[in-house]
Chains A and B, each alone.
Chain A
């Protein structure tokens, strides 16, 4: 069965805090995609991972294939990081399943 679990569902932080969002999945995958969705609906691609770690500015994404787990980290969070973060998992069965999303609010 293809399953994706994302946590936490909601996250509130003060500006400058380190943020971690988690995504766990049940069986083998070919890739995992982190997405950011702002109010109004627009979705932005952040990272696509199949192994290891990627970094872009203050964002870092890691994936542990053995543990079937990925994390998205935001260092020195800022109010403009407030958005919904979604992981999308492409399973080896060719199914693409989305996590339920993490709503992040960063206050100044």
Chain B
């Protein structure tokens, strides 16, 4: 069974631009969660999508948004990039939602390393 895949793996953008990252979950998994990892803040939860609906959201500004398609693939968008958005963005998939009092084992993708210049 193929693992979680993320594209692109590396990305360089300049301040003010926007970026879209993609995540394909493990086949059969319907939940996709997104995380940001920086040296200063560590791993932080961005949001979770399950059955094309955002189920949970972390404490990030509205510039960070996402969506999920009917095949469970998910995209994350960051608009008006800032230097502080430079980070490793990880997605993780699970067979069912990890929100609403539930938590199921998540399987992580390799991440997209975003550099904002």
Q: Which residues of A contact B (CB under 8 A)?
A: 30-31, 33, 35, 40-45, 48, 86, 88, 90, 92, 94-101
Chain B nearest CB from A99 CB (Å) reads 8
Smallest beta-carbon distance B100→chain A, Å: 7
B93 to chain A, nearest CB (A): 11
Give 20 A-B pairs besides A33-B106, A42-B111, A98-B42 with Cβ atoms closer than 8 angstroms: A30-B101, A30-B103, A33-B105, A41-B88, A41-B90, A41-B111, A41-B113, A42-B108, A43-B90, A44-B108, A45-B107, A48-B105, A86-B42, A86-B43, A88-B43, A94-B99, A94-B100, A95-B45, A96-B103, A98-B45
Q: Which residues of B contact A (CB under 8 A)?
A: 37, 42-45, 56, 88, 90, 92, 98-108, 110-111, 113
How would you classify the secondary structure of chain A's contact residues: helix, strand, loop or mixed?
strand
Contacting residues, chain B, for A88 (C-beta < 8 A): 43
Residue of A nearest to B104 (CB): A48
Q: Which residues of A contact B44 (CB under 8 A)?
A: 98
Contacts of A92 in B (CB 8 A): 101
